[in-house]
Amino acid sequence: MAERLSEPAPPRTTYPPVEPTGEIGRKNIVLATALFALALLIAAGAVVISLIYLHYD
Distance of alpha carbon 52 from alpha carbon 39, whole angstroms: 20
In the chain, domain spans: 22-57
- Residue 11's pLDDT is 81
* pTM, full prediction: 0.61
Model confidence over 1-57: pLDDT tens digits?
677 878 888 787 888 887 888 998 999 999 999 999 999 999 999 999 999 999 998
Q: Distance of CA 4 to CAs 1, 7, 35, Å? A: 9, 9, 51
